[in-house]
């Protein structure tokens, strides 16, 4: 049986493209409607791919809301994808034929300069996703419509071709994706880890104030990212923290032990802490 990979769909999204860059054509791809459903798919699928953060828009909140209740699987790797928007048309269409451009509102906003300079008379219409725009152009009976979408759409939907590549206003637009495994293949020379930490009432000097600085001192590792979401508990204003830590040891063999000792120190202070990713 082929390996099965869940991803935030539909087919043709940038998450689909990131998953394809990682797994290529050796797996079966299963699209999911939401990030929560994608993470839950680890109950039955082998892997899942979800967006972690964008270099312009920041962390993806829905991903961390899913990670705070993740029970099956863990992060085993990451993919960094440069977001390169393409102007996609029906085969045979020319730029002069286009009088309507469709895409997700965010993608349209990221390509305003191109649209103003190259297609000043074209109307723009929002769609639920960039992939949905590509699918609509694919089914169109005319040549006057174009979609702004990812390159993978031309292999996902029929009768499409790229008219112009890289039409985004900013070239420094990247999205980072997490690759999770139901039974993850942990690289023995991993250098990153994601810790899920939830303070418990009474584990700090004050029952009402959480001291993040004290937590970082206790961890005593190089922390490169901190994300925070409301904890899945009945108590109000109790948060779960996600700390991405990296090895600073010159000897790779020392890192797993340093990580283990750090977690022991944090647990000794009364925190709930779990490793939900190593890569």
C-alpha dist (Å) from residue 140 to 79, 89, 97: 33, 10, 14
For residues 18 and 121, membership in a common domain is answered with no
pLDDT of residue 203 exceeding 60, the answer is no
- Neighbouring-strand partners of residue 147: 88, 102
pTM confidence score:
0.85
State mean pLDDT over 97-115.
95
Q: What is the pLDDT of residues 113-122, one digit of tens each?
A: 999 999 999 9
pLDDT of residue 96 exceeding 90, the answer is yes
Residue 186 falls within a domain, yes or no? no
What value does the mean pLDDT of the chain take? Answer: 93
Residue 274 falls within a domain, yes or no? yes
Residue 51 falls within a domain, yes or no? yes
Residue 134 falls within a domain, yes or no? yes
**Domain count along the chain:** 3
For residues 38 and 142, membership in a common domain is answered with no
CATH number at residue 31: 3.40.190.10
C-beta separation of 117 from 187 below 8 A: no
For residues 41 and 102, membership in a common domain is answered with no
Range of the domain at 219: 192-278
Q: Which of 123, 153, 181 is the last residue of a domain?
A: 181
For residues 177 and 72, membership in a common domain is answered with yes
For residues 234 and 102, membership in a common domain is answered with no
For residues 55 and 177, membership in a common domain is answered with yes
State mean pLDDT over 240-266.
92
User: Who's near 146: CB < 8 A, 6+ residues apart?
Assistant: 87, 88, 89, 93, 98, 100, 101, 102, 119, 122, 137, 163
pLDDT of residue 206 exceeding 60, the answer is no
């Amino acid at each position: 049986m082929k390996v099965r990979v869940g991803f935030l769909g539909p087919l043709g999204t940038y998450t689909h493209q990131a998953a394809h860059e990682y797994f290529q054509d050796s797996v079966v791809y299963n699209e999911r409607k939401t990030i929560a459903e994608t993470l839950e798919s680890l109950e039955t699928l082998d892997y899942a791919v979800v967006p972690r953060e964008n270099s312009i828009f920041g962390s993806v909140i829905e991903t961390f809301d899913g990670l705070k209740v993740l029970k099956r699987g863990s992060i085993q790797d990451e993919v960094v994808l440069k977001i390169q928007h393409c102007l996609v048309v029906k085969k045979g269409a020319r730029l002069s034929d286009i009088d309507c451009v469709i895409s997700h509102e965010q993608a349209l906003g990221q390509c305003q300069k191109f649209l103003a300079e190259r297609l000043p008379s074209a109307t723009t219409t929002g769609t639920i996703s960039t992939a949905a725009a590509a699918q609509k152009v694919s089914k169109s009976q005319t040549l006057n419509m174009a979609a702004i979408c990812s390159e993978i759409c031309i292999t996902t939907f029929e009768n499409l071709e790229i008219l112009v590549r890289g039409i985004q206003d900013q070239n420094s637009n990247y999205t980072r994706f997490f690759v999770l495994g139901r039974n993850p293949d942990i690289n023995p020379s991993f250098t990153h880890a994601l810790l899920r930490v939830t303070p418990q009432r009474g584990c700090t000097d004050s029952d009402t104030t959480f001291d993040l600085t004290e937590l970082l001192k206790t961890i005593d590792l190089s922390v490169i990212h901190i994300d925070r979401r409301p904890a899945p508990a009945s108590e109000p204003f109790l948060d779960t923290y996600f700390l991405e830590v990296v090895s600073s040891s010159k000897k790779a063999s020392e890192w797993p032990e340093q990580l283990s000792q750090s977690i022991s120190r944090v647990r000794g202070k009364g925190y709930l802490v779990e490793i939900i990713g190593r890569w």
